[in-house]
């Protein structure tokens, strides 16, 4: 059985789905790995490194697709390459099934089996495959580092003979995986950190990292059974606006991480709130690609609103492609390992397995 991967569109995506480390693991399963030429050259990994481990390199993407039983990618294939998939082939990646619903429906009608890993259930057995957590962890870290580089003051408190420099105050909006990593990173760098989330269960996690949890008075826990945030009521939104507007007057840096799976990101930081922030403050919006948590966010632009910089990256992990690829490739391998029956040397689509059932696009 053969598993393949082709180069992503590097205008948008620098991560790869197979690394030399995971190639060795595919070998141990008895799977032949097919890759496109110069697959990870942009990450400093030469084709010869893959070839020395047994991978076959093809000059043309079509050859990889036609010679593979399963294709693993970071994101969905181009329309041209989707049309090259044939009956009983398998496509695995972050396919964004809500956004690409029509495309995926069309290829599943051709009996192509598609697995979209953002749909993984939140169960213990799926943790090693959890691409949202592995990638969000890095995103939370990088957002803090980047936002600090645009802030014009020192981050930690410094006491000198000439006087004291106050520590920067950071607000993290959304205390999921990315938010918690942002809190931990900002705290390690000496900032005073505040955080807010609609899920009351995150209060303990925020405080364990040294952050101060901002809670809307009388709020209920807005968390789904899967551990994600629910949409909030109008009453909650009004109370949240009041709390945030008062808090933002003293905040230097805001890291926005609040997302609702499959839906537009909620607007949490409005233009009115930004107006009360201090000149020189920074907002880094990790939700930019899904509409943004800030009303003024523009994808891949730095917006200056009366001295407040609002930053919105479409793919912040393109700035950490090697680390992100290493984690993502392991997530992908763990998923393939669960899907592949080594003894029978075949992919086993067992819909009684919750992981396979939940991720399969139907």
**CATH number of the domain that 44 lies in?**
3.40.50.720
Q: How confident is the model at residue 218, as a pLDDT?
A: 57
Instruction: Point out which residues pair with 309 in neighbouring strands.
Output: 282, 304
Structural domain contains residue 104: yes
Q: Are residues 269 and 333 in the same domain?
A: no
Instruction: Identify the band that residue 221 occupies on the pLDDT scale cut at 50, 70 and 90.
Output: low
Structural domain contains residue 264: yes
Q: How many domains does the chain have?
A: 2
Structural domain contains residue 132: no
CB of 71 within 8 A of CB of 89? yes
> Domain containing 266: what range?
137-318
Structural domain contains residue 218: yes
Q: Are residues 61 and 205 in the same domain?
A: no
Q: How confident is the model at residue 234, as a pLDDT?
A: 74
Closest CA to 171 of 244, 223, 260: 244
- Residue 301's alpha-carbon distances to 228, 252, 298, 312, in angstroms, are 28, 20, 6, 6
Q: Are residues 309 and 334 in the same domain?
A: no
The per-residue pLDDT for range 16-65, each reduced to its tens digit, is: 999 999 999 999 999 999 999 999 999 999 999 999 999 999 999 999 99
| Res. 284: pLDDT tops 60 | yes
CB of 295 within 8 A of CB of 267? yes
Determine the Cα–Cα distance for residues 87 and 150; give it in Å rounded to an integer.
50
CB of 148 within 8 A of CB of 231? no
Q: Looking at the chain, which runs of residues are DSSP E strands?
A: 2-5, 32-36, 56-58, 70-75, 90-94, 113-116, 158-160, 163-165, 169-173, 192-196, 212-214, 253-256, 282-285, 301-305, 308-312, 340-341, 346-347
Structural domain contains residue 125: no
Q: Active-site residue numbers? A: 122, 127, 130, 133, 228
CA 316 to chain centre: 9
The per-residue pLDDT for range 112-150, each reduced to its tens digit, is: 999 999 999 989 999 999 999 999 999 999 999 999 999
Q: What is the pTM of this model?
A: 0.89
Q: Are residues 272 and 158 in the same domain?
A: yes
Q: Are residues 295 and 170 in the same domain?
A: yes
| Res. 222: pLDDT tops 60 | no
Q: Are residues 310 and 328 in the same domain?
A: no
């Amino acid at each position: 059985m053969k598993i393949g991967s082709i180069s992503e569109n590097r205008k948008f995506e620098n991560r790869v789905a197979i690394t030399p480390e995971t190639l060795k693991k595919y070998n141990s399963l008895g799977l032949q790995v097919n890759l496109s030429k110069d697959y990870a050259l942009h990450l400093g990994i030469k084709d010869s490194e893959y070839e020395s481990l047994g991978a076959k390199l093809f000059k043309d993407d079509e050859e990889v697709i036609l010679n593979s039983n399963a294709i693993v990618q970071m994101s969905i294939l181009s329309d041209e390459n989707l049309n090259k998939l044939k009956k009983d082939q398998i496509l695995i990646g972050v396919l964004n099934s809500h956004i690409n619903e029509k495309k995926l429906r069309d290829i599943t009608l051709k009996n192509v089996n598609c697995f979209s890993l953002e749909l993984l259930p939140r169960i213990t057995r799926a943790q090693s495959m959890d691409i949202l957590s592995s990638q969000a962890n890095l995103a939370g870290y990088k957002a803090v580092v980047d936002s600090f580089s645009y802030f014009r003051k020192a981050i930690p408190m410094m006491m000198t003979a000439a006087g004291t420099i106050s520590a920067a105050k950071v607000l993290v909006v959304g205390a999921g995986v990315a938010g918690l990593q942002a809190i931990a990173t900002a705290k390690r760098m000496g900032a005073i950190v505040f955080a807010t989330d609609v899920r009351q269960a995150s209060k303990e996690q925020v405080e364990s990292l040294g952050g101060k949890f901002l809670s809307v008075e009388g709020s209920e826990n807005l968390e789904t059974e899967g551990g994600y945030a629910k949409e909030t009521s109008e009453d909650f939104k009004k109370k949240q606006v009041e709390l945030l507007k008062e808090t933002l007057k003293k905040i230097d840096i805001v890291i926005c991480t609040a997302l609702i799976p499959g839906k537009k990101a909620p607007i949490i930081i409005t233009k009115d709130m930004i107006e009360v922030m201090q000149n020189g403050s920074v907002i880094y919006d990790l939700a930019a690609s899904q509409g943004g948590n800030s009303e003024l966010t523009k994808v891949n632009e730095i917006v200056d609103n009366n001295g407040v910089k609002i930053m919105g990256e479409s793919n912040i992990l393109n700035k950490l492609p090697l680390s992100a690829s290493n984690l993502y490739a392991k997530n992908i391998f763990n998923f393939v390992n669960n899907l592949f029956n080594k003894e029978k040397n075949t992919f086993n689509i067992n819909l009684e397995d919750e992981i396979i059932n939940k991720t399969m696009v139907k």
